[in-house]
A and B are shown apart, each in its own frame.
Chain A
């Protein structure tokens, strides 16, 4: 326990973080890419077509992990925002800066794949149900986080503003889900449900879980790599940054 907390504390030191995480990034990238390739190839070639949807369900192996990750990254950013507001840990801000673009791309991909999956399966690309709407809102929130950081020059102010926005957004998402659900009850019951799915057969579950887990690993690698770049950028003037860069370069 002591070692764990000690490592944790030391990871908030930029120098330690920068030097130690290099290996982690490589491992995470390798595992993530390998896992994603395995899961996708498995899902594309070695799984029988689904009974009702035919082959278009294979989009699920992209759509579900990406949509799941997008929400998780937003939750992570909101938690980091709270941590920043309470303890003013700079690493939390760096995490937010690094994770927001990744989340934005994931959300965009979730939206695109959802639309394309809906077209052959339900006959329409877009349904204004709770889940779709909240993912769209998530996209705007990620975009807002990035734009807000870009617009504010001073770093502490940007960190504060982004943290506040992240937390407000995190409160907003469940409210949106409920309000859309209530709003939808007023029109005729939806003939198409994107959310309700019968229990997934194990044949499909294994590649899906592979892809979800690999997407976690890959996203962690990307965020960590981005955090390293941010750390070095913010400490460019310090002696350790100059030393590491000078020493490492072949």
Chain B
């Protein structure tokens, strides 16, 4: 509990680590979603003509 509380600074530290990792995870997953979308698109193009 002490570790979480950090003399009252815990809320600042933990919230930043949480927000930071969420944002970085979003940044990290977005290219993969983009790539998947593009690949699907390319596949459809291949089929249609």
Contacts and interface: CB of A to CB of B under 8 A. Distances in A.
Quick check: do A and B touch in the complex, using CB within 8 A? yes
Interface of A: 29, 33, 36, 40, 44-45, 49, 54-56, 58-59, 62-63, 66, 98, 101-102, 105-106, 108-109, 112-113, 116-117, 119-120, 218, 221-222, 225-226, 228-230, 232-233, 236-237, 241-242, 245-246, 249
Given A29-B28, A101-B27, A242-B46, A236 B16 contact: no
What's the dominant secondary structure at chain A's contact region? helix
A54 B6 contact: yes
Contacts of B23: 105, 108-109
A219 to B, nearest CB: 8
Given A33-B28, A222-B31, A246-B46, 11 more contacts: A45-B3, A101-B27, A101-B30, A226-B31, A226-B34, A229-B38, A230-B34, A232-B38, A232-B42, A237-B45, A245-B42
A71 B8 CA distance: 31
Which one of B3, B10, B12 has the greatest number of beta carbons of chain A within 10 Å? B12
Contacts of B42: 232, 236, 241-242, 245
What's the dominant secondary structure at chain B's contact region? helix
